[in-house]
Amino acid sequence: MLTLNQEIRERDLSKIWHPCSQMKDYESLPFIPIKKGEGVYLEDFEGHRYIDAISSWWVNLFGHANSYINEQITKQLGELEHVIFAGFTHEPAVRLAERLVEIAPQGLEKLFFADNGSSAVEVALKMSFQYYKNRGEVRDIFISLENSYHGETLGALAVGDVRLYKEVFDEILIQSYQAKSPALVNEAEALKSMQDLFEKYQGRIASVIIEPLVQCAGGMAMYDPSYIRSLKALCEQYGVMLIADEIAVGFGRTGTMFACEQAEVTPDFLCLSKGITGGYLPLSVVMLREEIYQAFYCDYRSGKSFLHSHSYTGNALACAAANATLDLFEKDQVLVRNREKIAYMAEKMQPIADLASVKAVRQRGMIAAIELDGYDPADRIGLKIYTFALKRGVLLRPLGNVIYFMPPYIITYDEINRMIDVAYEAISDLQSVNL
């Protein structure tokens, strides 16, 4: 007799190809069918519960099956689920747009909807290119940072720098160059490397795209706001546009609503997704300056329109979820209340820093990471830690040698203890096996 978990697994494996996976791995590492979610917990068909310490790939902010978000989506469901967004609009989108302009860095006055993070990156890249083209200039190069990640559609992949995802497609990617990352070298060296590229390709660069403060997929590599400030000045000096990809760090992850706030910088484009709907539904937006919008605003026959769309652009249910998410930020004073949790996580992680195999512990807001030392990538220790923690009811999903916590904001202090204690045990256990 198959257990309930096994039965679903077999039906799944006979049809489904899962993302970011070598399907053969699932022979030895069975995935987990989830029956329900509740707060910070995911529950399988046999009643095992797991703390979702990675917010289901960084999207969930206020827990699974959040009663308020559920209620707001249900309300919207009774009115309108979706409508074509060219030539039509709806109240949830309008309200969301007004609220985002209100809370985003000053000067981002217009926004364009898309339906996932990568598509927002594509929109920003294409807009920056066409902005110059509309003025009669062809700028065919994009700049990003080493160790960066911006999604996996071809344009987004081209400006990313995670070799693992990119290498296979090298021959078909658009032109981009990577400057040194301030998370990996000192700030002056990183800026110098950026300036060298600006000099070398002067007049050909459409935009620079960065992940402000934390290169999440690149191993939760962190850097200071001062870099963003200096980069913005450099962009102004050379006339290059700045795209802030806050798809992962937006909506309070780094301690402020948006990471750019800490640098007091307004980028030319701000890409948002992931947490925008509280982790409920796919939605993304690109916010931009009025002047960019105006460069596309003219007679249709001029050929200057931005002819880009997605079927689910500005989906009404997703906008309702996003409005509910913003309501929760306001009602519950989330950013203020998170400060204590952030400090508590820092304190609780201290003993981990003293473990022999730990190279570094770092944190920015509600993102905390532990980098392990002395393991060969071929050991796939991330996988070992994942398996170890899962047996103890915690979902961790290390990036290479980096274990990280990016929990929903509603996590309790007891749950923080459990999450970090299990990581501590996992690292100690791994050490003892290796001795």
Chain contacts with ligand PLP (rule: CB under 6 A): 116-118, 121, 149-151, 211, 216-217, 245, 247-248, 273
Q: Compute the least distance from the CB of residue 246 to ligand PLP, in Å.
A: 8
Residue 57 burial (10 A CB sphere; 0-12, 13-18, 19+): middle
How far apart are alpha carbons 35 and 272 in whole angstroms? 29
User: Would you say 64 or 274 has its CB closer to ligand PLP?
Assistant: 274
Q: Compute the least distance from the CB of residue 159 to ligand PLP, in Å.
A: 10
What single letter denotes the amino acid at residue 108? L
User: Would you say 248 or 423 has its CB closer to ligand PLP?
Assistant: 248
User: Would you say 5 or 60 has its CB closer to ligand PLP?
Assistant: 60
Find out whether 362 and 372 touch, Cβ atoms under 8 Å: no
User: Would you say 216 or 422 has its CB closer to ligand PLP?
Assistant: 216
Nearest residue to ligand PLP on Cβ basis: 117
User: Would you say 121 or 328 has its CB closer to ligand PLP?
Assistant: 121
Q: Compute the least distance from the CB of residue 89 to ligand PLP, in Å.
A: 23
DSSP string, 422-435: HHHHHHHHHHHHH-
Q: If we measure between CA atoms, which residue out of 127, 103, 60, 93 comes closest to residue 260? A: 103
Find out whether 257 and 213 touch, Cβ atoms under 8 Å: no
Residues 346-352: contacts with CB within 8 Å, 24+ apart?
348/416, 348/417, 348/420, 349/420, 351/424, 352/420, 352/423, 352/424, 352/427
Q: Compute the least distance from the CB of residue 207 to ligand PLP, in Å.
A: 15
User: Would you say 151 or 278 has its CB closer to ligand PLP?
Assistant: 151
Q: Compute the least distance from the CB of residue 20 to ligand PLP, in Å.
A: 10
Q: Compute the least distance from the CB of residue 49 to ligand PLP, in Å.
A: 26
**Count of other CB atoms within 10 angstroms of residue 435:** 6
